[in-house]
Amino acid sequence: MERGLVVTAALIERGGKVLLTRRMEADEHGGLWEFPGGAVEEGEGLRECLARELREELGIEVEVGEEVASVSHDYGDVEVELHLLRAWIRRGEPRPLGCAGIRWASLAEAGTLSLAPADRKLLGVLLE
């Protein structure tokens, strides 16, 4: 099994809905929905990582706040430690630059989507 992977995800809210992104079909877990974010690179902190990923994937500049939740999930080939941080868009409008699509959904709607397994765990924590 590959070493653990530390991944960030953003909780961006607007009008009672949260921002979700859809994974590219060619990616692992392609086509599944997730909270936007990505893997932490060497020497990078959680907040730095999330700001970089949102800039690259969605073309937005954000202010990153506190951690809301974290979960671990074993995908078989890799153990993922997923950290959900609150974020606010400061500049730009999200557009799918590094993902297959975006959507705003209520937490209840998010539960009806095909979510990546670790993101489904995060949603469960948010709904508690």
Give the N- to C-terminal CA distance of the chain in Å, as an integer: 31
pLDDT digits (tens, 9 = 90+) for 19-35: 999 999 988 888 999 99
- Fold type of domain 2-127: Nucleoside Triphosphate Pyrophosphohydrolase (3.90.79)
pLDDT digits (tens, 9 = 90+) for 67-118: 999 999 998 888 999 999 999 999 999 999 999 999 999 999 999 999 999 9
Which tokens go with 122? Answer: 């995060």
Calculate Rg over the CA atoms of the chain: 13
**What values do phi and psi take at 32, rounded to 5?**
-80, 155
